[in-house]
Structure 1
Amino acid sequence: MISNNRQAIALISDHADPAAVIGTEEAGGQNVYVRQVGENLAALGWQVDMFTRKANPDDPTIVQHSPYCRTIRLKAGPETFIPRDRLFEHMPEFVKSFCDFQTSQAYYYPLLHTNYWLSAWAGLQLQQKTGIQLIHTYHSLGTVKYDAILEKPKIAQTRIATEKKILEQASCVVATSPQEKEILRTRVSQKGHIEIIPCGTDTSNFCAIPPLSARKKLGWHPQDKIVLYVGRFDPRKGIETLVRACAVLKNQGCDNLKLVIVGGSINDRIDGQERQRIEQIVQEMGLSEVTLFTGQVGHDLLPLYYSAADVCVIPSHYEPFGLVAIEAMACGTPVIASNVGGLRFTVLPEETGLLVSPKDVEAFAQAIERVLLDEVWAKKLRKQASANVNQRFTWNNVAIKLSHLYRYTLARTIMHEQPWNPPLTSPLWTPVPVAAEAKQLAV
């Protein structure tokens, strides 16, 4: 039930179920983002309903995460897994189910925060019907994704058009890094409001554990030089580059090298083909004996893997933000990442890690070697990495900035002539009714 003392808002994440177990059927960074944002906004005084598509008939329709935050699964096509590239035809039913839910509960959400382009399409339909205030986070961009593939899917033009329309018509778009904002302006549209609010990480979970203690719990040798990858199997993640870089190091005589690859779906229908390809490359490079494929690892155990590693490598061809980078750094692990997208924002070169050109095997090998060989510098990186995340990338800070943005956006429904200038960096204020807030803005 909605609390009468709280402002109700809706987060829409069509394919990325906030209540899903991470690692199942495309569940990853977006699921974490929406769930953490929802729960932290509820802690700040909002009533948060997170809407997603029901993909399993055995899943409960409503999952209560906290007294004022819940996931609501809506009917949109058959209750089975459908890849996101084939979900668009079911989005009209998603919109209808959302409207039916509002009607059945006899309340109205004045603000929606949509996530990913499919949710953006749904949000635009609801905006047209009701004049709802609309905030959007992209998570990935079609204009960037389709540059990297030879054959574009049939849905490509619809996606690109929707991503342009949401930027131009939403109340505000949230970019997770200055680099994402730059891409939106140069490749999507010069119109629309954009505010930069980064992603965060749960620093109560992702925190430094003494490396030797972490290795002991995982059964790893204290003298191993551990290179870690965390993420799904996807050609755009650049795992092949990392494998070949480790082969270079091994051939150069790097002793005790161990490559640990964490991640992958529970079943193989999403990323099994890419995993098989990577396993074949590992074998061809003569790395089978020093490579560990762990499969899916729960978030409760991931801090052990990060803390036990000498370095975490993110060789992606593109990342809008890069949650893995801040998870690793929160655990005090230096990060070597591709010099692309939001990774240029999250990783501070020479302070928390290194940035190198994507797909450059030699550059990755040299960067990894530098961290592995210079123990004094690596120890300094560890300390700075953890401090940097705690200062810049906590979910509480993210929620505070989003809360400011939501209240400012709702207040502007009354003060239409007010110039766009949301106070995202102001101290946390006590929530006040929209009408009263409008008076504050008018001063």
Structure 2
Amino acid sequence: MPKRILFLTLYIYSLTGGIEKVCKNFMEAMDSLIQQGKIEDSLTLSLYDQNQHYPKYSSFNGNKIQFLIDTFRKSFSYDVIILSHIHLLPIANLIRWFTPKKKIILFAHGIEVWQPLSLWEKKLLSKIDIWAVSSYTAKKLYDQQGISQQNIHVLSNCLPKDYPFYEEKNNYNLTAKYHIPSDHQILLTVCRLSSAEQYKGYDIVLSALKELVKNHPKLSYLIVGKADETELVRVEKLVIDYDLKQHVVLTGYVSDEEIENLYNQADVFVMPSKGEGFGLVFTEALAHGCRVLAGNADGSSDALLNGELGLLVDPEDVKAVCKGIKTLLSEAILADETSKRKEKVRAYFGFDAYLLKVAHLLDF
């Protein structure tokens, strides 16, 4: 196993998305491996986070020149360079130019590696190791980029260390905060609302909800996450056009603590995405006891163990989404089944399982 690991990333603390969560978990894994005596040392360099420097972590507030200088200088004294994002590949190319045998590993999350790549990017990817967050992303790299399967390893995303697996609903008051009637069943989606992406499926859920409330009027749908202005206008117009103002709440950005409260109160977590690399939000929802509906056309299948942990449907079929939500809402909540799902989540996507996989992949 290598002794010293240099981890390069774009953001960790300045953004709150899935990739940033992956980076935090990986840093935690490095600390655990050091404590276990399996590696000697690790250092994380973050390009865009605000300037902070403390043991094992430095950030550069977007200063690309200083980041490049420090990365290049330190690369000579570390055994392995691990990149959190393909946008850091030019640095790896430079390092390989001077140290051709340097071990380099790239995290492949999803859509960023599915898009067309340049010839030099494909050439370099064929010479380094890739840790794909799902078998779906691994297949995309093989099918679309022509990367050898020998170079690709699946390392699924994980829940943070000591993530709470709630046994029962708390006393959080949705009525007071969001004016949702106390007798309503709750649908929940947690994602970024981006006009540049539009693949999360909340618009499909809104279309399904238009039909659902005709027979299930006591139903509310929370869409949680920061939205850009263009996408917010589009979604608000859909809510009005579908006559759903009494059933839909767009919360905007909320804290992690608030998201946990909403997971805890939700009856069904629903996100029929068609561009998810993995979908850590599904495992978070399951850890809180939610029933889950996801799309069957992307990495969501990995997060739900191909349907063992939730319902997979065609993400472009409104009728299928509508039927799936109706089925999950009508199911009896059995404590034993919920407990079994949580244990599977812990076994496959808990931090301890992740740590074992990281240690195995590094033991080359």
Does the alignment reach a TM-score above 0.5? yes
Q: 2:224 aligns with which of 250, 257, 262?
A: 262
1:109 correspondence with 2:55 = no
CA distance in 2, matches of 1:309, 1:274: 24
Please report how far the alpha carbon of residue 238 of structure 1 lies from its aligned counterpart in structure 2 after TM superposition: 2.1
1:73 correspondence with 2:60 = yes
Equivalent residue runs for 1:281-430 within 5 Å: 281-348=238-305, 351-376=308-333, 382-408=338-364
In structure 2, do the counterparts of structure 1 residues 348 and 223 end up closer, same or farther at CA, with 3 Å as the change threshold? Answer: farther
1:49 alignment counterpart? 43
SS in structure 1 at match of 2:81:
strand
Q: Is contact 2:136-2:302 (8 Å) kept?
A: yes
After superposition, give the CA deviation of every residue in 1:274-322 in whole Å (9 maximum; x if it has no partner): 1221111111111112211112122233221111100101121211111
1:60 alignment counterpart? 51
Q: Is contact 2:186-2:221 (8 Å) kept?
A: yes
After superposition, give the CA deviation of every residue in 1:10-40 in whole Å (9 maximum; x if it has no partner): 11123xx112252xxxxx1111101111122
The runs of 5 or more residues in structure 1 that have no matched partner are 1-5, 23-27, 78-91, 146-156, 266-270, 409-443
1:195 alignment counterpart? 153
1:227 alignment counterpart? 187
In structure 2, do the counterparts of structure 1 residues 349 and 178 end up closer, same or farther at CA, with 3 Å as the change threshold? Answer: closer
CA distance in 1, matches of 2:25, 2:155: 14
Q: Is contact 1:10-1:111 (8 Å) kept?
A: yes
2:166 alignment counterpart? 208
Q: Is contact 1:18-1:50 (8 Å) kept?
A: no
What residue identity is the alignment partner of 2:192?
A: R
Q: 2:4 aligns with which of 1, 8, 11?
A: 8
1:40 alignment counterpart? 29
Equivalent pairs counted in the alignment come to 351
Q: Is contact 2:130-2:153 (8 Å) kept?
A: yes
Equivalent residue runs for 1:271-286 within 5 Å: 271-286=228-243
The runs of 5 or more residues in structure 2 that have no matched partner are none
SS in structure 1 at match of 2:246:
helix
Q: CA RMSD in A?
A: 2.6
The one of the two structures with greater contact order (alpha-carbon pairs below 8 A, sep at least 6) is 2
CA distance in 1, matches of 2:183, 2:120: 52
CA distance in 2, matches of 1:321, 1:239: 17
TM (norm. structure 2) is 0.87
After superposition, give the CA deviation of every residue in 1:200-223 in whole Å (9 maximum; x if it has no partner): 012633422522534569755442
1:99 correspondence with 2:72 = yes
Q: Is contact 2:282-2:292 (8 Å) kept?
A: yes
2:89 alignment counterpart? 120
Please report how far the alpha carbon of residue 186 of structure 1 lies from its aligned counterpart in structure 2 after TM superposition: 1.6
CA distance in 2, matches of 1:13, 1:164: 20
CA distance in 2, matches of 1:324, 1:374: 22
CA distance in 1, matches of 2:13, 2:147: 35
TM (norm. structure 1) is 0.72
CA distance in 2, matches of 1:178, 1:393: 14
1:139 correspondence with 2:109 = yes
In structure 2, do the counterparts of structure 1 residues 163 and 255 end up closer, same or farther at CA, with 3 Å as the change threshold? Answer: farther
Question: Sequence identity of aligned pairs in percent?
Answer: 22
CA distance in 2, matches of 1:32, 1:162: 29
SS in structure 1 at match of 2:199:
helix
